[in-house]
Structure 1
Amino acid sequence: MGTTQIIAVVVTAILAGVIGWWFLGKHEEAAELATGSDNQQSATVVVKGGYSPSTIVLKKGVPAKLNFDMQDSTACLSHVVFDRLGVNEDLTKRDVTTIDIPTDKTGTIDFACGMNMFHGKVVVK
């Protein structure tokens, strides 16, 4: 086997490992409790290469606002979609886009980018 073939095998093995880790590996998920008072709660999600934090915990029965701080010009992340709420919001119109989240029932409300590649969730407890 020549030097070029050895390099090709090594590069292929490294790429296969990275791809396997990306799709099959266990990745830590950031979670944040919303802040506020008995009358209002809010949380900020930074949109930069994904959603950070990707999980927001809200208190049931307290009106909530989720602020999406757009810091990424990636086309995929230009929209946030809450299927369950019927929300498809363009995040490129302002630096921070606020979305009202219903907290009348406990449960999980999933959200994703416009291409459904990046995901997050709101947990109402």
Structure 2
Amino acid sequence: MDTTQLVVTFTVTGLISFVVWFFFFAPHRVATAVSTSAGVQQVDITVKGGYSPDVIEVERGKPVQLNFYRDEENSCSEEILFPDFSIRRDLPAFQTTAVELLPQQAGQFEFTCGMHMLRGSLVVK
């Protein structure tokens, strides 16, 4: 191998390592839902290259309202999917979209963008 091939090999290996870390090992931002006086659990989530926070903790059997503020125009984040709850919502850029659901059983439920690249989870206790 010559010098150019070594540089390219190390650069590609570094980029692949970063992508694997970002999607599988990066630290998660966790938020516990706050109950309103009406008993609805609410969490505000910012969508910008991912979900922040990306792990939401809620209580089982109480209504949940997740307020997604999409702070970008990236086409990947233009919709949100909650497959376990059969929910699909469009997320207009620079607007807040409320997603309401009622989790009946405990567990961890994934939510993603339409392309399944951005990921988060709803932890029901």
- Counterparts of 1:37 and 1:73 in 2: how far apart (Å)? 31
TM-score w.r.t. the length of structure 1 is 0.85
CA shift, 1:94, in A, is 6.6
- Counterparts of 2:52 and 2:93 in 1: how far apart (Å)? 20
Gaps of 5+ in 2: none
Gaps of 5+ in 1: none
TM-score w.r.t. the length of structure 2 is 0.85
Q: Is the 8 A contact 2:32 2:43 kept in 1?
A: yes
Summarize the alignment of residues 1-125 of structure 1 with structure 2, pairs less than 5 Å apart.
Answer: 6-24=3-21, 26-37=25-36, 39-92=39-92, 95-125=95-125
In the alignment of these two chains, the number of paired residues is 122
Q: Is the 8 A contact 2:72 2:94 kept in 1?
A: no
CA shift, 1:19, in A, is 1.2
- Counterparts of 1:63 and 1:116 in 2: how far apart (Å)? 25
RMSD over equivalenced CA pairs, Å: 2.0
Which structure has the larger Rg? 1
CA shift, 1:118, in A, is 1.1
CA shift, 1:104, in A, is 2.4
Percent sequence identity over matched residues? 30
Deviations 1:28-81 (A, max 9, x none): 111110112461110011100011111100022221100111002111110101
- Counterparts of 1:41 and 1:95 in 2: how far apart (Å)? 20
